[in-house]
Amino acid sequence: MRLALSEARAALKEGEIPVGCVIVRDGRVIASARNRTRETGDVTAHAEMLALKQADRYALRDAKMYVTLEPCPMCAGALALSGVSRLVYASKDEQYGCCGSVYRIPEDPAFPGFCRCDGGLMEEEARALIKEAFEGIRDGKN
């Protein structure tokens, strides 16, 4: 999660919503990314989506994803179909989170895979970054 937080800090410095993601398999980082929606103008350029695209599709089986903010419906759906076996997120997203807060897409038996979802790891650090970003937006700094 420390690596995901590092990605989130970099996103904040770049004027993005500070979300970072790291995918690990067999103790080795196979992908890492941060939000790039503003930079690219692409609403799908969330950290999770970019990390999933970066990783070798076959390496995702039994991998773990660490992300600083609970995934939205789009990212949770991609996660459910990816083969990743476990998600660990830092901060809940009470409005859009679909890995425990609003819904649990990756754990829904309607999908072909099951991805265990757990939240709260290093939550305070992740929340502080999100708070800083939104205070900057409100104050016209971002």
* DSSP string over 20-88: EEEEEETTEEEEEEE--HHHH--TT--HHHHHHHHS-GGG-TT-EEEEEE---HHHHHHHHHH---EEE
Q: Residue 119: which H helix or E strand, with range?
A: strand 116-119
Q: State yes or no: is 132 an active-site residue.
A: no
Closest by CA position to 76, among listed 110, 37, 35, 117: 117
Three-class SS state of 111: coil
Q: What are phi and psi of 133, to 5 degrees?
A: -65, -45
Catalytic residue among 7, 16, 48, 70: 48
Could you list the active site residues? Answer: 48
